[in-house]
Structure 1
């Protein structure tokens, strides 16, 4: 793995575990075993540029994983339930859900940094597009799919945050069971 990829990989994990403000530059340097000059060579604008790069990398990872799941299952309902089940298994195994939520970064940095807010917004938009495309394939109208995709994104993101704060996977299990009712309403 090249140095830049190593920095992104380690910093992403640290940001997910501790938040942007909870991770110091020295901690990133130590974890990566690199000098400050090496970090600034790859990220001339420093920690915020690194965070944005990490968000883009995380977004690519999440959307690739979601696209694979959504291509494998015949309907939005079964694909979403499979995706949620994967999150539940990860939470039950590890006690956390890494890589599937941007909410903590948005709440921490969204009002402080327009570039970070924009990177997070782009990630949510891409996730909603995956839902919308599958819903269109299921026969929903384009106007309806945007509303449903927004509600699905909000429900799952909120469910992830509730799992983390309550230390139980129950919120995602409830969302997975309630999803068929949401789709029937439209």
Structure 2
């Protein structure tokens, strides 16, 4: 489901395609996801967020250095774009862009997901020596830069917008982070 959301978004993918990918009969969908495609999308969002936050939690447990960690995060995004020939973006952003005010369950899952990611990045930055309020604000900037740059690179069909945004953000973080002992 996440890959389909990455490529075509929630409204661009049909239930039959999702069922074919899952190799499941239609009855299984409605048994496990009585809310249909929306409930399935919420589950996919939660799974994606779970994957990202587990990876960040592992880095936090390892007391990873923020700058190399964030460089790696942006580099992985660039590789994913290239591997997917610029057809796959972040499933969270893809769904968020096409959600409407009526999509309350989707928006709630997305808001909670983005918040969880920002919290982990803020912890990472704070462990790197930034004061907590500044770490929170910069975490919001990191996530916004990542998502916006990914979107721009996907549309442009080349990594330039994401590579430039990542370099500028990481340069800024280098000036703000205290030197490591």
Band the TM-score falls in, shorter-chain normalisation? 0.7 to 0.9
Q: Does 1:154 align with 2:153?
A: no
- Distance between the aligned counterparts of 1:86 and 1:72, measured in 2? 19
Q: Quick one: which of 42, 58, 64 aligns to 1:52?
A: 42
Show the 5 A alignment for 1:156-175: 156-175=146-165
User: Are 1:69 and 1:83, in contact at CA under 8 Å, matched by a contact in 2?
Assistant: no
Q: Does 1:132 align with 2:115?
A: no
- Counterpart of 2:17 in structure 1 is 27
- Distance between the aligned counterparts of 1:49 and 1:94, measured in 2? 26
Q: Does 1:123 align with 2:113?
A: yes
User: Are 2:30 and 2:36, in contact at CA under 8 Å, matched by a contact in 1?
Assistant: yes
* Structure-2 change in CA distance of 1:31 and 1:138 (3 Å): closer
SS of the counterpart of 1:34? Answer: coil
- Distance between the aligned counterparts of 1:116 and 1:167, measured in 2? 28
SS of the counterpart of 2:50? Answer: helix
**After the TM superposition, which of the residue ranges 56-65 and 152-161 deviates more from structure 2?**
56-65
User: Are 1:101 and 1:157, in contact at CA under 8 Å, matched by a contact in 2?
Assistant: no
SS of the counterpart of 1:112? Answer: coil
- Distance between the aligned counterparts of 1:181 and 1:161, measured in 2? 21
Q: Please, which runs of 5 or more residues in structure 2 have no aligned partner?
A: none
User: Are 1:70 and 1:80, in contact at CA under 8 Å, matched by a contact in 2?
Assistant: no
Once superposed, which parts of structure 1, at least 4 consecutive aligned residues long, lie more than 6 Å away? none
- Counterpart of 2:27 in structure 1 is 37
- Counterpart of 1:141 in structure 2 is 131
- TM-score, length-normalised on structure 2? 0.86
Q: Does 1:178 align with 2:168?
A: yes
Q: Does 1:65 align with 2:68?
A: no
SS of the counterpart of 1:51? Answer: helix
- 1:8-45 alpha-carbon deviations (Å, 9 max, x no partner): xxx22222221111112222223333322111111112
Q: Does 1:103 align with 2:93?
A: yes
- Counterpart of 2:67 in structure 1 is 77
